[in-house]
Amino acid sequence: MNKLGVLVCTNAAIDYIPHDYDIRVIRSMILMGGKEYIDFEELTANKFYEMLENDPSLFPRTSMASTGTMLAEYEKLRDEGCDEALFVTISSKMSGIYENALIAAKMVEGIKVTVFDSRTVGYLQCKMAFLAHDLAKAGKSMDEIVEELSFIRENNHMYFAVNDLSYLVKNGRLSNAAGFLASVLKIKPLLEIDKAGAVVTVEKIRTFHKAVERMVDKFLEETEGKDYEPFIVHANNPETAEEVRQRVLALRPELKEIKEYILTPAVGAHCGPKALTIAYVLNKPR
């Protein structure tokens, strides 16, 4: 295909994954303590979680990039010689970024923009973006690229546990939040990202530790006998992440490795500190 420009939104946390790809990042703003910060550029994950730990009264919110910002980035890619652009966004069920990206795509001239709803968040967005780059370099068409990304989208599952449910509820990111009254926010449920890309409750659990244990149980049940890539994502909780890794590797020594990724502030603002995910994506038969 012709020269392709690839974009992800800030929620992909691509800044924390070493890579050599030219991938543009559309960044959100973090609103906290009466101040605004550009995700990663002005507020990194380490600083963000440190601030929340030092002052639990802080309640972060996010503000997504405008259509104008996205339009300007599309035009920049066009002016740099790109014939097409692919924007891999956070799930449309979690943010309005996808819709804004579509509006901007209809406004731009001189470049064809494809907006791909990942129906997920974080590392898998990066995996999709990296793959798109490789496929474009190999001469694949946009239809062929979208087909490959769609396999990833349809063949992954992310379970996660949060230490404080109020972040998801107050930010409106829990699809079935109606079942949680203020009086029961001490519940530490097992959550998942469903096939539509929404955050939903799987089971209501009373402690974070038990939620993490159940999360690992579900992961092991689902991946039995499958060819898959496992990964762990957390909101500044390396200790629990390591416990989960060691438990899984003890039972699945053939894995050799389970990579670990951090949640950028734009995502951590919604799930809260200490949140933890263990997830997998199936490897496509070749």
Where a domain ends, among 107, 138, 154?
Answer: 154
SS3 state of residue 231? strand
83 inside domain? yes
User: Over the stretch 186-228, which tens digit does the pLDDT of each residue have?
Assistant: 678 889 999 999 988 888 888 999 999 999 999 999 999 999 9
- Note the pLDDT of residue 270: 87
Q: How many helices (DSSP H) and strands (DSSP E) are in the chain?
A: 9, 13
Regarding whether 223 and 249 lie in a shared domain, the answer is: yes
**What is the Cα–Cα distance from 139 to 14, expressed in whole angstroms?**
24
- Note the pLDDT of residue 245: 97
The CATH number given to whatever domain includes residue 167 is 3.30.1180.10
- Note the pLDDT of residue 272: 86
Regarding whether 167 and 120 lie in a shared domain, the answer is: no
Regarding whether 137 and 8 lie in a shared domain, the answer is: yes
DSSP state letter for 43: B
52 inside domain? no
Where a domain ends, among 154, 178, 198?
Answer: 154
Segment 236-261 shows an average pLDDT of 95
Regarding whether 244 and 218 lie in a shared domain, the answer is: yes
Q: Using an 8 Å Cβ cutoff, are 28 and 64 in contact?
A: yes
Regarding whether 216 and 84 lie in a shared domain, the answer is: no
Regarding whether 82 and 210 lie in a shared domain, the answer is: no
For 104-144, give the DSSP string.
HHHH--SSEEEEEE-SS-THHHHHHHHHHHHHHHTT--HHH
Regarding whether 270 and 169 lie in a shared domain, the answer is: yes
- Note the pLDDT of residue 171: 56
58 inside domain? no
- Note the pLDDT of residue 177: 47
The answer to whether residue 178 scores a pLDDT higher than 50 is no
User: Over the stretch 98-128, which tens digit does the pLDDT of each residue have?
Assistant: 999 999 999 999 999 999 999 999 999 999 9
Regarding whether 263 and 134 lie in a shared domain, the answer is: no
Residue-range definition of the domain harbouring residue 172: 156-282
Specify the number of domains making up the chain. 2
The CATH number given to whatever domain includes residue 88 is 3.40.50.10440
Where a domain ends, among 103, 131, 154?
Answer: 154
246 inside domain? yes
36 inside domain? no
The answer to whether residue 81 scores a pLDDT higher than 60 is yes
